[in-house]
Amino acid sequence: MEDSKLPLSLRNNLLDLFSQIEREFENLYIENIELRREIDSLNERLTGDGQTVEGGDPSKGVLKTKASHSTSQLSQKLKTTYKASTSKIVSSFKATTGSRALCQLLKEYVGHRDGIWDLSVARTQPVVLGTASADHSALLWSIETGKCLLRYAGHAGSVNSIKFHPTEQMALTASGDQTAHIWRYMVQLPAPQPPPDVSALCDDDQDSSDREEGEVDGEGLCEVPTVRVATTTLKSHQGVVIAADWLVGGRQVVTASWDRAANLYEVETSELVHTLTGHDQELTHCCTHPTQRLVVTSSRDTTFRLWDFRDPSIHSVNVFQGHTDTVTSAVFTVGDNVVSGSDDRTVKVWDLKNMRSPIATIRTDSAVNRISVSANQRIIALPHDNRQVRLFDMSGVRLARLPRSNRMGHRRMVCCTAWNEENQSCNLFTCGFDRQAIGWNINIPALLQEK
C-alpha cells in the first residue's frame, strides 16, 4: 500500500469498508458453526426417531411423515437464514456507501473539557448552537465557523440540558447542582467563511480523531466572553435537574429531576406553579409541545407521562407503559405524535389522539439516548450507546446511518441529537462523551427519494 496512487481519503474509505465486510463475514462464520452444530443435533434426533419407528410401532408412517416434514422445515429455515445473512452483507455495504453520500460531516465543535450531554439550536437571530456539558459549562457556537462565541459558567454542577427561548435571546439550562438557570446572552456572529472541502476534511481529520484526551482545540476558551450570573434561578428540586424546557410562549418553564418530580415555574416571578408527581423513579427527560400547553416526562420507571395544561383550572395526566426499561426521552412532533426512546433498544411512535398502542415500533441493537424529530420532514434521529446515529421516518422505515469510522464521527457514546430547520448546510447536530459536537449536512430530498 506504500506505492498506492490512490488518494489517502479513498484508501481510508476502502479500508473502512473492507474491515466492515470482514467483520460481517466473521459473524456469519460463527453463526454458520452454530447452525452446523444445530443441524447435527437435529439429525441425530431424527435418526433416533426413525430407528424407534422401525421397531414395529403401528404409527410409524405418521412419524416418518413428521420427521420428513421437520427435515423439510429445517432445510427451508437454513435457506432463509443464509439468504438473510447474504442480504445483511449487501445491505450493510450499500448503507455505508450511501450514508457517506447522503450524510456528510461538515463541522466539529471542540472546546468542552468533559462529555456533552445536550445541545440545542437557537430559534431567534442570530442562530447559534448551544451545548451543555459535564464540565459545568454551557457554550454557544457559530454554526458556520465552529468558533465558540460565549461561555455560561453560572452552574456549580454538570450542565445536563440547554434550551433556547422561542422569541428572545435567553437560554434555559438544567444542572446537577439541583437548579435550573435562565440567562441572557448577546453574541455577534463572525464573518462567514468559504464552505469546507469535505474531501480534505476526511484527509486531515487529526484535529478531532487523533486529539489526546483533555486537549482543547485552537485558542482554547480563555478569550471567550463568559456569563457567570443567571437572570433567574429556579431551585425547588431536591435532586439533580436532568432536563428543562420552555412552554409555548416562553412565559413558563418545566424542569425534570432525579427527585422523581417535574416542576412548572412562572419565568417572570420564579414562582413554582405546579409540582408534577407520580413517577416511581428518577426522571430522565421532559419536553413541551411546540404549539400547545402539553408536557411529556420520561422516567427510569419504564413509563412516560403526558401532562395537559390547556385548561388553566385543571391539569390532567396520562401514563404510558410501552417500554420494558428506562425511557430515556419522549418528544413531541409538530403534528399529533409523541416519539419515545428507551434503554430497551426500541423507539415507539404514538398518536396523541389514540395512545393505547404505538403506531410504529423501531427495534435497534443498542440503547437509545435523547432523540429528536425534524419539524419539517418528520425524520427521527436516534443516538446510541454504541456511537451510531440512525435516521428513520415516522413509520419506522430506516433511511440512513451517519458515517462512523476511526477518523469520522463520534468515538464514544452519542448522547443527543438536534435538528436545525433554518440552516441548509448544517441541519443535524450530534454530541457525545467524546467532548465534541458535530454538524452534519443531510441530503434530505435524496434520502426520502431513496426510501
CATH number at residue 129: 2.130.10.10
What 3-state class would DSSP assign to 284?
strand
Model confidence, pTM: 0.74
Q: Which letter, b or e, does each residue of 101-119 get, where b requires 16 or more Cβ atoms within 10 Å of its Cβ?
A: ebbbbbbbbbbbeebbbbb
Distance between CA atoms of 257 and 239, rounded to whole angstroms? 6
* Cis amide prior to 126 (ω within 30 degrees): yes
Q: What Å distances lie between residue 177 and 172, 174, 247, 309, 434, CA to CA?
A: 14, 8, 23, 28, 23
Show the domain range for 321. 102-186+224-448
Whether residue 205 is contained in a domain is answered as no
Whether residue 172 is contained in a domain is answered as yes
Whether residue 396 is contained in a domain is answered as yes
Distance between CA atoms of 47 and 127, rounded to whole angstroms? 72
Whether residue 359 is contained in a domain is answered as yes
User: What angle in degrees, to the nearest 10, is found between the helix axes of 8-53 and 60-102?
Assistant: 170
Whether residue 266 is contained in a domain is answered as yes
pLDDT at 196: 54
Whether residue 369 is contained in a domain is answered as yes
AA identity, residue 245:
D
Q: Which strands sit side by side in the sheet containing 262-266, from one edge to the other?
A: 241-246, 252-257, 262-266, 272-276
Is residue 144 a contact partner of residue 126, using CB atoms and an 8 Å limit? no
> Domain tally for the chain?
1
Identify the CA nearest to 222 among candidates 132, 128, 153.
153
pLDDT along the chain (451 residues), means of 10: 71 78 78 78 67 41 43 52 46 47 90 97 95 98 96 98 97 98 94 57 39 44 88 97 97 98 97 95 97 96 95 84 96 93 97 90 96 92 95 95 84 93 82 96 84 59
What 3-state class would DSSP assign to 144?
coil
Whether residue 219 is contained in a domain is answered as no
Spell out where 252-406 has E strands. Answer: 252-257, 262-266, 272-276, 283-288, 294-299, 304-308, 316-320, 327-332, 337-342, 346-351, 360-363, 372-373, 380-383, 389-392, 398-401
Kindly state the DSSP code that residue 338 receives in the 8-state scheme: E
AA identity, residue 292:
Q
Is residue 43 a contact partner of residue 33, using CB atoms and an 8 Å limit? no
Whether residue 357 is contained in a domain is answered as yes
pLDDT at 39: 81
State the residue for C-alpha cell 447452525: 35
